[in-house]
């Protein structure tokens, strides 16, 4: 799932610095204030959510976002995007000419997600300075020749326009426009909330993305919890309606407890509607890292899961009894911050926000289509598991292990110290089912790497 970016991608990413300086040269007062502005914005983004909306209206925060948050987000995306099947494979139609993007009420408004020209329709919600489109351009070079109708929306128009200037400038470095080399993406920017962007849309998009948006949905801190529950349900429902059959939803959040909790909540909503969990989940059972997320938790009973998966309440409860949830862990992935370029490292240090590791929480979902019904899950002693923790030292010299996520719940995978976070591997549960053992401390199933493939 996560791949260290190669030298070419790192070079292109660091080239963003030159694009930024060229497109948005900093005034001297903003340059000297930048580290402080980064620190202030960081506080704002991680604390009282009710105050957040104002940040795009303040030039010092715009400078901080563009020079610090955008580049780090792009580095995260550079690890993640190359390994994700976001779009369907190219069809012969997609090699033909570019068709104009049809507006909601315009001609072609009722076209399927892949329109008659073969272009794929993508909607990015809470797009900010087009971070996700920039990430696609940088990290997925094969998409640079693909026709995408990209609708980028945000409640604030300012960052959208900044992002367009960045993307066009960046793309200009790879593309010389001419009869044979047209910039193939049709970019449309729309100011508006996610509600407005999705309102009235039916089966229109093949991909809907939202990066670092969910944690901005709660509003006033006093009733933040209820608002998040309500908003995430409404958002999922609206995305579901706007998505074409077989289309995908990609969600990315910071690798914090809140980010992971929101992601697991969306996972639960997706399961209720029969979605396929393409990444990072290896199974459709309860989430072993979904503590207090609402999945089978305080506010949500197991009814949703029953409705979706055809499993009985008893089966669900049995599953819960069999697996464990780790209260101290949450679903996120971590990787090295190496690859950041000197200006970014200097700014991070000056802001007191040095990074050695980057973290993220994410989810790629696929709406059921004609060919993509979820397969029933089988339990056997061999199963696909995903590494979800850093290496941990087991007491009494029992060696090093990693927690892994599996259809049996949480596993403790021995001899796995060299595996990167997020890696998908096949494991075995020795002695399954009768003589399988659990780690006495965490309750996770003892597992070994399957080396017999």
CB of 193 to ligand SAM, least distance (A): 4
Q: Which range, of 125-133, 183-191, 351-359, 436-444, touches ligand SAM by CB under 6 A?
A: 125-133
Binding pattern for the stretch 28-57 against ligand SAM, x by CB under 6 A and - elsewhere: ----------------------------x-
Check residue 211 for interaction with ligand SAM (CB under 6 A): yes
Helix orientation angle between 131-139 and 157-174, rounded to the nearest 10 degrees: 10
From 212-220, 310-318, 415-423, 431-439, give the range in contact with ligand SAM by CB under 6 A.
212-220
User: What would the two tokens of residue 363 be?
Assistant: 């989810």
216 touches ligand SAM by CB under 6 A: yes
The smaller minimum CB distance to ligand SAM, of residues 359 and 384, is found at 359
Angstrom distance (rounded) from CA 426 to CA 453: 9
DSSP sequence for 234-247: HHHHHHHHHEEEEE
* Residue 232 is a binding residue for ligand SAM (CB under 6 A): no
Distance from C-alpha of 18 to C-alpha of 344, rounded to nearest angstrom:
12
- Rounded to the nearest angstrom, the gap between the alpha carbon of residue 4 and the centroid of all alpha carbons in its chain is 17
- How many helices (H) does the chain have, and how many strands (E)? 12, 14
Question: 360 vs 405, which CB is nearer to ligand SAM?
Answer: 360
Dihedral sign from CA coordinates of 139, 264, 312, 387: positive
Residue showing tokens 């060229």: 22
Window 60-99: residues binding ligand SAM (CB under 6 A): 70, 73
CB of 132 to ligand SAM, least distance (A): 6
The DSSP code sequence of 141-155 is GGGGGS-EEEEEEES
Q: How far is the CB of 194 from ligand SAM (least distance, A)?
A: 4
> What is the x/- site pattern for ligand SAM, positions 278-297, by CB under 6 A?
--------------------
Closer of 143 and 408 to ligand SAM (Cβ): 143
Nearer to ligand SAM by Cβ, of 75 and 289: the residue is 75
Element at 334 (helix H, strand E): strand 333-336
Residue nearest ligand SAM, CB atom distance: 128
Report the residue number, 154 or 439, with the smaller CB distance to ligand SAM. 154
Is 126 among the residues that bind ligand SAM (CB under 6 A)? yes
Q: Please, what's the b/e burial string for 246-284 (b: 16 or more CB within 10 A of its CB; e: otherwise)?
A: bbbbbbbbbbbbbbbbbbbbbbbbbbbebbbbbbbbbbb
**Which residues ranging from 133 to 162 are in contact with ligand SAM (CB under 6 A)?**
154-156, 159
Does 309 bind ligand SAM (CB under 6 A)? Our answer is no
The beta strands (E) that lie in 172-225 are given as 186-191, 205-211
Residue at token pair 């955008």: 70
Q: How many angstroms separate the first and last alpha carbons of the chain?
A: 20
| Selected binder of ligand SAM within 12, 94, 131, 282 (CB under 6 A) | 131
For ligand SAM, give the closer residue by CB, 47 or 145.
47
Kindly determine how many residues on this chain lie close enough to bind ligand SAM according to the rule CB under 6 A.
19
Q: How far is the CB of 399 from ligand SAM (least distance, A)?
A: 39
Among 197, 128, 139, residue whose Cα is nearest residue 166: 128
Residue 92 buriedness (CB in 10 A; 0-12 / 13-18 / 19+):
exposed
Neighbouring residues of 287: CB distance < 8 A, sequence distance ≥ 6? 264, 267, 268, 281, 293, 295, 331, 405
Q: Does 187 bind ligand SAM (CB under 6 A)?
A: no
Contact between 127 and ligand SAM by CB under 6 A: the answer reads yes
Identified binder of ligand SAM from the candidate list 68, 137, 185, 194, rule CB under 6 A: 194
- Looking at the Cβ atoms of 127 and 268, the one nearer to ligand SAM is 127
The residue among 213 and 277 lying less far from ligand SAM, judged by its C-beta, is 213
Considering only CA atoms, which of 398, 409, 401 is closest in space to residue 444? Answer: 409
Nearest approach, Cβ of residue 124 and ligand SAM (Å) = 7
Q: How far apart are CA 271 and CA 307, in angstroms?
A: 9
In angstroms, give the least distance from the CB of 210 to ligand SAM.
Answer: 7
Binding site for ligand SAM (CB under 6 A): 56, 70, 73, 125-128, 131-132, 154-156, 159, 193-194, 211-213, 216
């Amino acid at each position: 799932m996560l791949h260290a970016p190669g030298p070419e991608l790192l070079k292109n990413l660091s080239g963003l610095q030159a694009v930024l300086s060229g497109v948005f040269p900093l005034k001297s007062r903003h340059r000297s204030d930048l580290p402080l502005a980064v620190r202030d914005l960081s506080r704002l983004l991680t604390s009282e959510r009710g105050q957040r909306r104002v940040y795009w209206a303040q030039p010092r925060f715009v400078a901080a976002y563009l020079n610090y948050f955008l580049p780090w987000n792009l580095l995260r995306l550079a690890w993640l995007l190359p390994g994700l099947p976001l779009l369907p494979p190219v069809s012969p139609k997609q090699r033909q000419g570019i068709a104009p993007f049809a507006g909601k009420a315009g001609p072609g408004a009722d076209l399927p997600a892949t329109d008659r020209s073969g272009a794929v329709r993508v909607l990015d919600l809470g797009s900010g300075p087009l971070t996700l489109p920039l990430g696609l351009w940088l990290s997925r070079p094969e998409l640079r020749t693909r026709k995408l109708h990209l609708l980028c929306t945000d409640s604030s128009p300012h960052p959208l326009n900044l992002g367009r200037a960045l993307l066009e400038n960046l793309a200009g470095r790879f593309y010389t426009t001419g009869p044979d080399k047209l910039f193939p993406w049709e970019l449309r920017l729309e100011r508006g909330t996610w509600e407005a962007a999705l309102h009235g849309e039916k089966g229109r998009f093949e991909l809907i993305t939202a990066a670092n948006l969910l944690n901005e949905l709660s509003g006033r801190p006093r009733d933040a919890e209820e608002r998040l529950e309500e908003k995430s349900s409404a958002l999922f429902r609206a995305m579901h309606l706007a998505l074409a059959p077989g289309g995908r939803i990609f969600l990315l959040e910071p690798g914090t407890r809140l980010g992971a909790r929101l992601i697991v909540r969306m996972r639960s909503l997706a399961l209720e509607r029969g979605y396929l969990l393409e990444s990072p989940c290896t199974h459709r059972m309860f989430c072993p890292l979904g503590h207090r997320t609402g999945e089978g938790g305080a506010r949500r009973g197991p009814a949703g899961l029953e409705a979706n998966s055809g499993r009985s309440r008893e089966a669900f409860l049995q599953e819960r009894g069999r697996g464990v949830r780790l209260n101290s862990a949450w679903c996120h992935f971590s990787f090295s911050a190496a690859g950041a370029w000197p200006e970014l490292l200097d700014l991070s240090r000056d802001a007191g926000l040095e990074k050695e590791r980057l973290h993220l929480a994410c989810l790629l979902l696929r709406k059921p289509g004609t060919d993509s019904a979820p397969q029933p899950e089988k339990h056997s002693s061999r199963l696909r598991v995903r590494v979800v923790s850093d290496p941990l030292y087991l007491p009494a010299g029992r060696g090093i292990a990693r927690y892994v996520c599996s259809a049996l719940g949480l596993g403790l995978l021995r001899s796995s110290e060299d595996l990167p976070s997020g890696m998908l591997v096949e494991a075995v549960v020795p002695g399954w089912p009768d003589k399988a053992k659990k780690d006495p401390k965490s309750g996770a199933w003892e597992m070994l790497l399957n080396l017999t493939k």
